[in-house]
């Protein structure tokens, strides 16, 4: 058994200074220690998949990161670990607890995941070791993990069993300050919609070259690539729903403006991220939901966005502004308004389904896209 501080100190000494995750009772001392430790950043994610994406954003912005979660949450993280960390070669140190671990009588809901936890990590090609058992083992264990991640560019996990960390929980765990409800504006003209493509062209014409842009999976990223391929673009080819969480991880760690281009289907898939963004409230983040009412990239099946007021949800979550629009002029006004708010803004832009003809696909590999984006963020 070690103290939480032994792990956090050794991690910090090796540069691991950005933590995110979702709690597990086995993790209490470590997670409470991380929340209360002013030397490092801790972001309370709404889901483990979101935590993986937030950590990926923080890594792109120059941090060495850790994701801490229960093995149940490993299930929630499978998609981004396999379709974000793997192709983009984005490492993160994972601490995964082992409910229903060896010899442990546990609750029925943990039984199967307990049996498959190491095997699931193996299947995801995430190397793993037992959580270090004594103080002297912590430094070498973290050094091994970081060296492996340097070599592979991929995550590494410690599996933590019950009682691996002593119960010296911190008293001081301040939540992010409560945010007032954001301002909602309606710039809709109800006079026919434009395309996602034309909206992105307006965006590129209106923002500075200093702006980082993260585009959601599917045709959105492909259109952005086709319009212009630049180092400040990250085409999130997989990890559907994770663009806004990655945008949060970036925006919290850079001064420059960050724009997230989301789809309605993707935003719905990980809507919890809006609560996290509203709570941590980086004022350099503009979250744009390009709502075509469909899963356009997979054949135009309808989403349920017709009855969703994304601007209202964002305002209720603590974004400074939620702006509705549905025309090129309205979008340009929304963008100007979003830039002027002291907090994150969400622009809910209704667009036509369908995409441009001659639609390309990123020809730069995801790993190269990540490297040049990282260089762009921290030249
Ligand atoms: C986790 C996951 N589920 C499903 C898919 C398949 N998929 C790729 S793009 C897409 C549609 C995305 O819809 P939306 O966010 O509304 O964007 P649009 O395609 O309309 O631009 C789907 C379902 C996926 N890549 N990942």
Q: Measured between alpha carbons, how far is 262 from 289 in angstroms, rounded to an integer?
A: 5
Do 151 and 220 lie in one domain? The reply is no
pLDDT tens column, 146-158: 999 999 999 999 9
Q: Is residue 10 helix, strand or coil?
A: helix
The pLDDT, as a whole number, for residue 169 is 61
Q: Is the pLDDT of residue 64 over 90?
A: yes
Helices (H), 102-215: 108-123, 135-152, 196-206
**Same domain? 59 vs 152:** yes
Asked if residue 171 belongs to a domain, the reply is no
Tell me which residue of 41, 87, 67 sits closest to 251, measured CA to CA: 41
Distance 96 CA to ligand 1 centre (A): 28
pLDDT tens per residue across span 310-350: 999 999 999 999 999 999 999 999 999 999 888 899 999 99
Question: Could you give the number of structural domains in the chain?
Answer: 2
Is 347:335 a contact under the CB 8 Å cutoff?
A: yes
Residue 316 lies in a domain: yes
Residue 175 resides in a domain:
no
Q: How far is the CA of 126 from the centre of ligand 1 (A)?
A: 25
Confidence check: pLDDT of 272 > 80: yes
| 5: enclosing H helix or E strand | helix 4-13
The pLDDT score that the predictor gives to residue 100 is: 97
Residues 145 and 11 in one domain: yes
Q: Is 217:238 a contact under the CB 8 Å cutoff?
A: yes
- 371 lies in the same domain as 256: yes
pLDDT at 174: 82
Q: Could you give the percent of the chain with pLDDT greater than 70?
A: 99
pLDDT digits (tens, 9 = 90+) for 14-52: 999 999 999 999 999 999 999 999 999 999 999 999 999
Q: Is 235 in the same domain as 317?
A: yes
DSSP 286-343: EEEEEE-SEEGGGT-EE-SGGG--HHHHHHHHT-SEEEEE-SHHHHHHHHHHHHTSSS
Cα separation, 188 vs 332, whole angstroms:
12
Residue 167 belongs to some domain of the structure: no
Q: Are residues 246 and 327 in the same domain?
A: yes
Could you tell me the residue range of the domain that residue 358 belongs to? 183-377
Report which protein residue has its CA nearest ligand 1's atom 16: 265
Q: Are 132 and 7 in contact (CB under 8 A)?
A: yes
Minimal-distance CA residue to ligand 1 atom 6: 298
Domain boundary pick from 160, 191, 223 = 160
Q: What is the mean pLDDT of residues 262-284?
A: 98
3-state secondary structure 14-78: CCEEEEEECCCHHHHHHHHHHHHCCCCEEEECCCHHHHHHHHHHHHHCCCEEEEEECHHHHHHHH
Q: What spacing in Å lies between the alpha carbon of 209 and ligand 1's midpoint?
A: 28
- CA distances to 4, 297, 322, 361 from 263, in Å: 40, 10, 16, 17
pLDDT single digits (tens) 292-302: 999 999 999 99
Residues 102-136 pLDDT 10s:
999 999 999 999 999 999 999 999 999 999 999 99
d(CA 256, ligand 1 centre) in Å:
28
The yes-or-no verdict on residue 171 having pLDDT over 80 is no
Cα R_g (the chain), whole angstroms: 21
Of residues 90, 23, 27, 87, the one with CA closest to residue 63:
90
The C-alpha atoms of residue 369 and residue 379 are separated, in whole angstroms, by: 15
- Specify whether 136 is located in the same domain as 261: no
**What pLDDT is stored for residue 78 in this prediction?**
98
Q: Per the domain annotation, does 24 fall within a domain?
A: yes
pTM of the model as a whole: 0.98
In a domain, 239, yes or no: yes
Query: In Å, what is the CA distance from 329 to each residue of 170, 198, 206, 348?
Result: 51, 11, 12, 14
- For residues 348, 354, 358 and 361, what is the CA-based torsion angle, rounded to 10 degrees? 60
Give me the pLDDT at residue 68, please. Answer: 97
> Are 142 and 236 contained in the same domain?
no
Is residue 261 in some structural domain? yes
Task: Determine the atom of ligand 1 nearest the C-alpha atom of 263.
Answer: 15
- 166 inside domain: no
CA 43, CA 29: separation in Å to the nearest integer?
Answer: 16
Whether residues 48 and 10 share a domain: the answer is yes
Cβ pair 325, 348 in contact under 8 A: yes
pLDDT surpasses 70 at 168 = no
Question: For 46-59, how does the pLDDT look when each residue is reduced to its tens digit (9 = 90+)?
Answer: 999 999 999 999 99
Of 129, 160, 191, the last residue of a domain is 160
Q: Are residues 155 and 216 located together in one domain of the fold?
A: no
Instruction: For residue 225, give the 3-state DSSP assignment.
Output: helix
- Residue pLDDT, tens place only, 230-243: 999 999 999 999 99
Residue nearest ligand 1's atom 18 by CA? 296
Q: What is the residue with the minimal CA distance to atom 12 of ligand 1?
A: 295
Q: Which protein residues are within 6 Å of ligand 1, measured from CB?
A: 79, 216-220, 238, 240, 263-266, 292, 294-298, 303
CATH number at residue 40: 3.40.50.970
């Amino acid at each position: 058994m070690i103290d939480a501080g032994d792990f956090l100190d050794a991690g910090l000494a090796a540069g691991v200074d950005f933590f995110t995750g979702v709690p597990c009772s086995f993790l209490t001392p470590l997670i409470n220690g991380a929340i209360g430790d002013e030397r490092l950043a801790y972001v309370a994610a709404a889901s483990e998949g979101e935590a993986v994406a937030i950590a990926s954003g923080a890594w792109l912005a120059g941090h060495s990161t850790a994701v801490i979660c229960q093995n149940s949450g490993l299930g929630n993280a499978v998609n981004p670990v396999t379709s974000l960390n793997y192709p983009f070669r984005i490492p993160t140190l994972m601490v995964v607890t082992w409910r229903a671990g060896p010899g442990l009588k546990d609750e029925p809901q943990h039984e199967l995941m307990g049996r498959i936890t190491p095997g699931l990590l193996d299947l995801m090609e995430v190397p793993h070791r037992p959580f270090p058992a004594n103080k002297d083992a912590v430094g070498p264990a973290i050094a091994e993990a970081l060296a492996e991640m340097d070599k592979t560019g991929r995550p590494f996990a410690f599996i933590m069993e019950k009682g691996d960390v002593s119960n010296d929980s911190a008293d001081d765990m301040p939540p992010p300050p409560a945010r007032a409800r954001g301002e909602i504006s309606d710039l809709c003209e109800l006079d026919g919609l434009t395309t996602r493509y034309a909206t992105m062209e307006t965006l590129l014409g209106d923002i500075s070259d200093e702006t980082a842009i993260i585009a959601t999976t599917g045709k959105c990223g492909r259109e952005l690539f086709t319009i212009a391929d630049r180092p400040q673009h990250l085409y999130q080819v997989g990890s559907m729903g994770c663009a806004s969480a990655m945008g949060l991880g970036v925006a919290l760690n850079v001064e420059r403006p960050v724009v997230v281009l989301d789809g309605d289907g993707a935003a719905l898939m990980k809507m919890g991220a809006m609560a996290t963004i509203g709570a941590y409230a980086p004022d350099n983040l503009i979250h744009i939901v390009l709502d075509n009412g469909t899963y356009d990239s997979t054949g135009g099946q309808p989403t349920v966005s017709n009855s969703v007021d994304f601007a209202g949800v964002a305002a209720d979550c603590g974004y400074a502004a939620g702006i509705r629009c549905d025309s090129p002029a309205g979008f340009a006004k929304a963008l100007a308004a979003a830039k002027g708010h002291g907090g994150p803004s969400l622009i809910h832009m209704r667009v036509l389904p369908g995409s441009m003809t001659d639609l390309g696909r990123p020809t730069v590999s995801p790993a190269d896209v990540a490297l040049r984006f990282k260089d762009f963020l921290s030249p």
